[in-house]
Amino acid sequence: MTPALTSSASRINAAARSALTHPHDDKDIVDEPVPQRFLRKPLTVNVIGACFSGGQPHSGVDMGPEMLVKHGLLRQLSELGWQLENEKPNFHKYDQYKDEPGMTDRVGRLKNARYVSRVAQSIFQSVQMSCSLGNLALTLGGDHSLAMGTVAGSCAVYKDVGVLWIDAHADINTPATTTSGNLHGCPVSFLLGLAGHVEGFEWLQPCLRPSRICYIGLRDVDQAEKRILRDHGIRAYSMHEVDRWGIGAVVDRALDYLGRSTPLHVSFDVDALDPSVAPATGTPVRGGLTFREGHYIMEAAYQTGCLVAVDLMEVNPTLGNHKAMTETVEIGCSLVRSALGE
C-alpha cells in the first residue's frame, strides 16, 4: 500500500483491460432504476446532518452538512425519485455533549474522547432508527469519527452488513497506536473491537468482523495500521491496485468479496479523491481517486441493489478559496446522487 502517483492514461488502459477480463452486469444509463432489496417502498432517504468536528483538529468540517444542503442536495435527491423522511433535516451542533468548561476531555492519548463518544452514540441511534424503518440512512459529516455511530447503527439492524470504506487513510489506529490522538483516525478499530476498553465508549460493542469491511483508495497508512490490516486479514485495495487493475476490476473484487446479496454500507471520506478534485478537506493526500473513479464506486454500490446506508464525510467548506469550496461541495453532492441512482 505505497503511495501512487496517478496516471489517467494508464488507468484508462487498465479499465479497458478490466472490461475484457472482468465482465459484469452494469446497468446502462437509460435503464430502469435498480430495485433496492432491503429498503421499503417508496424509496425513502433519511438525511442525518452531523455537524461535528471533534474527532480532528480543523474547524469548519462541521459546516459541511449545511453547505451540501444549501447546494441543492435534497432537491436533487427528490428529482431522482426518492422520498425525503425529513424535508428539513436538523443540523445538530452537539454542544450539549461537551464536557463542562475547564475539564480535560482526554482518555489516554485520545482527544475529545467523551465528546466524540456521546456524539457517535447519538448518530448510532439515528442510523439504527432509519435502518429499522427500511429507509436509506444518509449521514452527512462532519469528521469520520462519526462512522463509529453510523456503522454501528447499520450493524444493529443488518447483522451481516458489508462496509465499503473509501478513504486515503485506514482509520484503524487503536488508542495504543495513534500518534495524533485524533479519533477520526480510529473508528474502524473501535468497530472491530480492537480498541479494547475505553472509558466512555461502553455503549459501543464490537459489531464488525474483519471479513466484513473492504477498503478502496488507501495511500497514507501508518506502519502500525499496516500491521493491523495484515494481522487481521483485512481486504484493502490501495491506489497501487487502482492504477494496476483499473477501478472497475477493483470495485468488482471488493463487491464480490463483501457479497452482492448482503446489505451494503458505503462510508466515503472525500479525501479519497485527489486534492485536485476535492481540495476542501482536512487531510488531503496526492495521488487519489479521479472524479470518475469516485463516482464509479458509488454507481456500482447503487447497482448492487443492496445499499442500506451511505456516509459522506470530511467536506470542509472553510479550507481553501471559494473555488475549492464550491468544487468539493458540488462533488460531494454528485457522489451522493450517484449512490442513489443517478
Q: Is 169 a catalytic residue?
A: yes
Q: Is 92 a catalytic residue?
A: no
H-helix or E-strand spanning residue 334 = helix 322-339
The full DSSP string for 78-141 is: HHTTPEES-SS--EE--GGGSPPTT---EETTEETHHHHHHHHHHHHHHHHHHHHTT-EEEEEE
The catalytically annotated residue of 62, 85, 143, 171 is 171
Do the beta carbons of residue 291 and residue 277 sit within 8 Å? yes
Q: How many CA atoms lie within 13 A of 81 on its CB side?
A: 10
Non-local CB neighbours of 184 within 8 Å, separated by 6+ positions: 55, 56, 143, 144, 145, 171, 314
Copy the grid coordinates of residue 65: 452538512
The catalytically annotated residue of 169, 225, 274, 295 is 169
The catalytically annotated residue of 225, 252, 293, 314 is 314
- Reported for 11-19, long-range contacts at CB under 8 A and 24+ positions apart, including other chains, are 11/242, 11/243, 11/246, 11/247, 11/290, 11/293, 13/246, 14/243, 14/244, 14/245, 14/246, 14/249, 15/246, 15/247, 15/248, 16/246, 17/246, 18/245, 18/246, 18/247, 18/248, 18/249, 18/252, 19/248
d(CA 106, CA 104): 6
The catalytically annotated residue of 220, 269, 274, 293 is 269
Amino acid at 21: T
The catalytically annotated residue of 241, 271, 274, 293 is 271
Q: Is 269 a catalytic residue?
A: yes
d(CA 213, CA 268): 13
Q: Is 271 a catalytic residue?
A: yes
The catalytically annotated residue of 62, 143, 144, 243 is 144
The catalytically annotated residue of 85, 92, 184, 299 is 184
Active site residues: 144, 167, 169, 171, 184, 269, 271, 314
